[in-house]
Amino acid sequence: MTTVRQKVLAYLSKSRAASSREIARALGLSAATVRHHLRVLVADGRLEMASVRGRDGRGRPEKVYSPPRAALGDNLSALSDALLTEAGSGVRMEALAIRLAGESNFASQPLAKRLNLTVEKLNQMNYHARWEAGSEGPRLVFGHCPYAAILEKHPELCRMDEALLAQWMGGSATQIFRTGKEGSSVCVFTVGS
């Protein structure tokens, strides 16, 4: 990463939000240079356009940039942990899976189409998923578990993932590897049609 981009990121990590004009003024750079680096940082996902605001007087509205909301953090893991702990064994993972699956139903599609649609939905939910062929049928691989922060305390979330996959795939799903188990950094599920 270039020094200019590092400076832009450092400035925005302190100020939380700024326009290209404000960044250029603070860093002593041209607005064109800053806009170029902002475009690259947004494309890389290291920044996002937070809003557009009107300028005092004449001129175009300004885009305001900030670090991505995900980088700022949230308290969702603590909240999820508290809710699951409070609910105890009364939580039906299959019901949660159906709620998460929403209106999506791929059961009538050919297998390859179901796998592709399932991967697409999973990636919208931050699983970083892919599918691959396996000796006993297709496998879905999660490169990231969105529940990793609370998974050790709530392994029932893996059952929810199995139910979610079964709902979308119109068959069975069985977890064969789990994040953290045997040094695995991925979760792997076999799926049957």
3-state DSSP assignment of residue 188: strand
Q: What does R_g of the chain's alpha carbons equal in angstroms?
A: 22
pLDDT for the residue numbered 71 = 65
pLDDT for the residue numbered 60 = 80
DSSP E strands in the chain: the ranges are: 18-19, 48-53, 62-66, 129-132, 139-142, 173-177, 187-191
- Band (182; pLDDT cuts 50, 70, 90): low
Of the listed ranges 16-30, 67-81, 100-114, the least confidently predicted one is 67-81
**Residue reference for tokens 């709530």:** 154
- Band (90; pLDDT cuts 50, 70, 90): confident
Average pLDDT over residues 1-22: 88
**Is-contact 179 128, C-beta < 8 A?**
no
Q: What tens digit of pLDDT does each residue of 55-80 get?
A: 666 778 888 998 887 666 677 888 88
pLDDT for the residue numbered 73 = 66
Average pLDDT over residues 146-161: 89
Q: What does the domain layout of the chain look like in residue ranges?
A: 3-71, 76-191
Range with the largest mean pLDDT of 18-32, 135-149, 177-191: 18-32
pTM for this model (two decimals): 0.64
3-state DSSP assignment of residue 35: helix
pLDDT for the residue numbered 164 = 93
Cβ burial of 168 (10 Å; 0-12, 13-18, 19+) is buried
Sheet holding 18-19, edge to edge: 18-19, 62-66, 48-53
Measured in degrees and rounded to the nearest 5, phi and psi for residue 62 equal -100, 140
Domain 3-71 class, CATH top level: mainly alpha
Q: Report the alpha-carbon distance of residue 2 to residue 13 in Å, rounded.
A: 17
Here the tokens at position 105 are 């139903």
Q: Report the alpha-carbon distance of residue 192 to residue 165 in Å, rounded.
A: 10
**Is-contact 84 107, C-beta < 8 A?**
no
The DSSP bridge pattern shows strands 48-53 and 187-191 to be unpaired
Count the residues in the chain. 193
